[in-house]
Amino acid sequence: MPSIAQPSPSIQDRFPLDQQPDPDQLDDIKAQLDLILMAIEALATIGSDAVLQAAQDLGLSDVVGDRVALWRLRQSSPLRKGQGRKRLDVDEARSLVLIICHLAQNHAELIRRSVSLLEQLTEQDRPPHQAALLGNYLDRFGNTYEERMDESHQISSDERTYLALKLMIDLLFYSLPNGSQRLWLALFTRVHHP
Q: Which residue has the higher pLDDT, 1 or 170?
A: 170
Q: Is the pLDDT of residue 158 over 90?
A: yes
6-54 pLDDT, tens digit each:
445 555 556 656 667 777 888 889 899 999 999 999 999 999 999 999 9
Residues 6+ apart with CB under 8 A from 65: 52, 55
Residues 6+ apart with CB under 8 A from 5: none
- Residues forming a β-bridge with 80: 149
Number of C-beta neighbours around residue 171 at 10 A: 27
Domains of the chain by residue range? 22-189
Phi, psi angles (nearest 5°) of residue 163:
-60, -45
Distance CA 149, CA 78 (A): 9
For residue 70, the model assigns a pLDDT of: 85
For residue 192, the model assigns a pLDDT of: 44
Cα–Cα distances (Å) from 47 to 5, 39, 79, in that order, read 35, 11, 19
**End-to-end CA, the chain:** 53
Mean pLDDT of 90-103: 92
Query: Is residue 165 exposed (0-12), middle (13-18) or buried (19+ Cβ within 10 Å)?
Result: buried
Q: Is the pLDDT of residue 176 over 70?
A: yes
100-154 pLDDT, tens digit each:
999 999 999 999 999 999 999 999 999 999 999 999 999 999 999 999 888 888 8
Amino acid at 110: L
Q: Which residue has the higher pLDDT, 70 or 102?
A: 102
User: 153: number of CA atoms within 13 Å, CB side?
Assistant: 15
Phi, psi angles (nearest 5°) of residue 165:
-70, -40
Residues 6+ apart with CB under 8 A from 18: none
Residue 167, SS3? helix
For residue 71, the model assigns a pLDDT of: 82
For residue 64, the model assigns a pLDDT of: 86
For residue 19, the model assigns a pLDDT of: 64
